[in-house]
A and B are shown apart, each in its own frame.
Chain A
């Protein structure tokens, strides 16, 4: 197989951006993706089988068959879990990764989110740390992501976000009924509501039309291709350069290294199950926080007996996502107008600055609910079955508003990905084993956030509310998984440097959510993309032709 300049493992939010940036800079690129390439035609509107509701399986990968993981419960007992079970902590396996079927909230983190340790100190038992780069370093790349991916929204209602040079490229999607109910209530409470940013066309943009406000949004491929992800933005641009080849259904087995400790490419199983080698000057690992960690840990050799980049036992640690809490409000009039995407209004008043709390998170109304989702949002005390349950569905499906938010997690070194010693996937490779828990202070913040959500709903006129602030006994990673290959200046305290380059192997990069030191109080995808643009710029700057040396 022809040697190329760069082989990228994973065509999600990070890998897609890197593929575009390297191929437009003239490098030859092979982009490997373990899943398939779905398009708008694959929107089946299947309420029971999509990427959010996986009762009948994951619509966009991985399949249950042959892709097990192991999760360790609070008592230390390991369980084999299927890809469609929540304990699996799945994101997706397809071209576009999570950004194919996401809700498409496309947030910038706030300046403090990159300085959590200096802002709050280190809570006992946590591994809280600052990023080696700042919001100001990333700002131009956030802007680039917002324009190249296509983001609608309007931050002008909030004074809490960092400075920006340009407004978002598109106005917000037209507000829905929930927005018009929640906005005045938030203002009465002295809060600063605004139109949350979304990777969704509100007007024609980038050659595709606007959102038609349908009911099948988060978890689905957008039927009209108005939702923007790497699969319909940067990856097509990369392919159009002629410098990038995308190979789907290719599962990478390991990063290959030579006797001097430099990477020479990857070994992977192709779509026919045959083991192949793709040699390259540089290897970019972009598989998401769980699978990227697995790949590095599975890449063992004489020089790297514990896996690549794992000299100090750091690969896989600090696994985090978001701790979602909030409240549901019940109204005595219809709050549902059957207009997607539903999520429309947010506040970031509570992300930072509460005495006694290390951070917080944004709060926003939830995505449009399908009937199958209302089953989980009926008021406490509703009969579990019978006519009373049926009547409750009729009473409340159109009369509930949910406000939820991603509480920024306080990371711990014990929440981690390792390799399971016995369970193998269908290619015979050791699978991800997930263990550890969320730091208790995260739960405390989440409980405060839930009460704030409840207060907002009460002010908006909810006649009943119910608070959702559970304390799960396992890590939360899932679609917002991050942190397993922490970025830092100190090789003994981090896996990659500020350019996403593995400290002790200069031609291997990790460019995805794995490098997030902390994960902000916001959905992480736009930050993954901004970091990918930032790291790609450094990579191209240091590129000196075949035989890359930084």
Chain B
């Protein structure tokens, strides 16, 4: 009884998830930027700059390009609720440094200037820096189900098949006796 009840619930949940996913996709393609659960537009711009210094683009996308902000934004109203104040204060401090040093919003600065501000955050506000660093790495390298690591791009970067193939691929005799 117990398991069949759970099973139905789960199926319903999966179905709802699929609908939700479709809705998000529509929202993105219709160009509705700034539909954040937690961040203001300005906060999102600042955080984008910070995250993209922590994981910059090279042959593979930067943090923000893979949805890391979506990951952080979603969790700040879920599991990371206790970090809301830290983000409010931390992003404000980043902007204070930016305006003091360069007289402009962080998002408008060049990459070397943004690097300088993130370095300053690491020195002056280490707790906040560590928090953003952890969340950025989680979003980038963690499961795509939470909004970051879009299309499993970081896993592909590391040479991991996604979806992983199983079966014959594990028993390729050309590799020797191991699987």
A215 and B145 contacting across the interface, CB-CB below 8 Å: no
B3 and A375 contacting across the interface, CB-CB below 8 Å: no
| Nearest CB of chain B from residue A392's CB, rounded to whole Å | 11
Report which of A47, A215, A246, A390 forms a contact with B142, defined as CB distance below 8 A: A47
Which A residues lie within 8 Å of B141 (CB)? 47, 371-372, 374-375, 393
Does A212 sit at the interface, judged by CB under 8 A?
Answer: yes
B164 and A46 contacting across the interface, CB-CB below 8 Å: no
**Segment at the A interface, from B27-35, B37-45, B51-59, B86-94:** B51-59
Q: Which of B1-58 contact A (CB under 8 A)?
A: 2-3, 6-7, 10, 53-56, 58
Q: B54-82: contact bitstring with A at CB < 8 Å (1 yes, 0 no)?
A: 11101010000000000000010011000
Which B residues lie within 8 Å of A425 (CB)? none
Which B residues lie within 8 Å of A37 (CB)? 2-3, 6
Q: Provided the pairs A175-B178, A213-B179 are in contact, do residues A339 and B170 lie with their beta carbons within 8 angstroms?
A: yes
Which B residues lie within 8 Å of A339 (CB)? 170, 179
A372 and B178 contacting across the interface, CB-CB below 8 Å: no
Report which of B2, B79, B138 forms a contact with A372, defined as CB distance below 8 A: B138
| Nearest CB of chain A from residue B135's CB, rounded to whole Å | 9
Report which of B2, B75, B143, B166 forms a contact with A47, defined as CB distance below 8 A: B143
Question: B10: nearest residue on chain A (CB-CB)?
Answer: A41
Which A residues lie within 8 Å of B154 (CB)? 371, 393
Chain A interface residue count, Cβ-Cβ cutoff 8 angstroms: 42
Does B131 sit at the interface, judged by CB under 8 A?
Answer: no
Which B residues lie within 8 Å of A1 (CB)? none
Q: Which of B116-142 contact A (CB under 8 A)?
A: 118, 122, 133, 137-138, 141-142
A248 and B157 contacting across the interface, CB-CB below 8 Å: no
Q: A477-506: contact bitstring with B at CB < 8 Å (1 yes, 0 no)?
A: 000000000000000000000000000000
B58 and A390 contacting across the interface, CB-CB below 8 Å: yes
Q: A362-387: contact bitstring with B at CB < 8 Å (1 yes, 0 no)?
A: 00000000011011000000001111
Task: Give bound CA distance, A36 to B6, whole Å.
Answer: 9
Task: Give bound CA distance, A474 to B53, whole Å.
Answer: 36
Which A residues lie within 8 Å of B157 (CB)? 393-394
A48 and B143 contacting across the interface, CB-CB below 8 Å: yes
Q: Provided the pairs A175-B178, A180-B177, A387-B58 are in contact, do residues A45 and B143 lie with their beta carbons within 8 angstroms?
A: yes
Does A56 sit at the interface, judged by CB under 8 A?
Answer: yes
Which B residues lie within 8 Å of A39 (CB)? 3, 6-7
Which B residues lie within 8 Å of A45 (CB)? 143
| Nearest CB of chain A from residue B142's CB, rounded to whole Å | 4
Question: B152: nearest residue on chain A (CB-CB)?
Answer: A371
Q: B154-179: contact bitstring with A at CB < 8 Å (1 yes, 0 no)?
A: 11011111001011001100011111
Report which of B138, B146, B179 forms a contact with A176, defined as CB distance below 8 A: B179
A215 and B164 contacting across the interface, CB-CB below 8 Å: yes
Most chain B beta-carbon contacts within 10 A, residue among A338, A385, A386, A390: A385
Q: Provided the pairs A175-B178, A176-B178 are in contact, do residues A46 and B2 lie with their beta carbons within 8 angstroms?
A: no
A41 and B158 contacting across the interface, CB-CB below 8 Å: no
Task: Give bound CA distance, A39 to B58, whole Å.
Answer: 41
| Nearest CB of chain A from residue B123's CB, rounded to whole Å | 12
Which A residues lie within 8 Å of B167 (CB)? 212
Which A residues lie within 8 Å of B176 (CB)? 180
| Nearest CB of chain B from residue A244's CB, rounded to whole Å | 13
Which B residues lie within 8 Å of A175 (CB)? 177-179
Q: Which of A384-402 contact B (CB under 8 A)?
A: 384-387, 389-390, 393-394, 397-398
| Nearest CB of chain B from residue A48's CB, rounded to whole Å | 4
Question: A336: nearest residue on chain B (CB-CB)?
Answer: B159
Which B residues lie within 8 Å of A386 (CB)? 53-54, 56, 115
Report which of A36, A56, A248, A338 forms a contact with B160, defined as CB distance below 8 A: A338
Q: Provided the pairs A46-B143, A48-B142, A371-B154 are in contact, do residues A338 and B53 lie with their beta carbons within 8 angstroms?
A: no
Q: Provided the pairs A213-B166, A214-B166, A390-B58 are in contact, do residues A56 and B146 lie with their beta carbons within 8 angstroms?
A: yes
Q: Provided the pairs A338-B160, A390-B58, A398-B158 are in contact, do residues A385 and B53 lie with their beta carbons within 8 angstroms?
A: yes
| Nearest CB of chain B from residue A376's CB, rounded to whole Å | 10
Task: Give bound CA distance, A57 to B164, whole Å.
Answer: 25
Task: Give bound CA distance, A265 to B142, whole Å.
Answer: 46
Task: Give bound CA distance, A246 to B1, whole Å.
Answer: 11
| Nearest CB of chain B from residue A396's CB, rounded to whole Å | 10
Task: Give bound CA distance, A248 to B6, whole Å.
Answer: 12
Does A55 sit at the interface, judged by CB under 8 A?
Answer: yes
Q: Provided the pairs A338-B161, A394-B158 are in contact, do residues A385 and B133 lie with their beta carbons within 8 angstroms?
A: yes
Which B residues lie within 8 Å of A136 (CB)? none
Task: Give bound CA distance, A55 to B137, whole Å.
Answer: 12
Most chain B beta-carbon contacts within 10 A, residue among A215, A337, A371: A371
Question: B133: nearest residue on chain A (CB-CB)?
Answer: A385
Task: Give bound CA distance, A473 to B55, whole Å.
Answer: 33
Which B residues lie within 8 Å of A371 (CB)? 141-142, 154-155, 158, 160
Report which of A41, A177, A397 forms a contact with B178, defined as CB distance below 8 A: A177
Does A174 sit at the interface, judged by CB under 8 A?
Answer: yes
Report which of A56, A179, A246 forms a contact with B79, defined as CB distance below 8 A: A56
Question: B56: nearest residue on chain A (CB-CB)?
Answer: A387
| Nearest CB of chain A from residue B49's CB, rounded to whole Å | 13
Does A44 sit at the interface, judged by CB under 8 A?
Answer: yes
Task: Give bound CA distance, A94 to B161, whole Å.
Answer: 32
Which B residues lie within 8 Å of A176 (CB)? 178-179
Task: Give bound CA distance, A222 to B57, whole Å.
Answer: 35
A375 and B79 contacting across the interface, CB-CB below 8 Å: no
Q: Jot down 10 A-B pairs with beta carbons below 8 A, ordered by A.
A: A42-B10, A48-B138, A56-B79, A56-B146, A175-B179, A214-B164, A337-B179, A339-B170, A385-B118, A390-B55
Question: Which 5 pairs, one residue from A and one from B, show the smallest C-beta to C-beta distance?
Answer: A371-B141, A47-B143, A385-B54, A48-B142, A180-B178
Besides the contacts A371-B154, A389-B54, A398-B158, what 4 more A-B pairs have beta carbons closer than 8 Å?
A: A48-B138, A338-B160, A390-B56, A397-B158
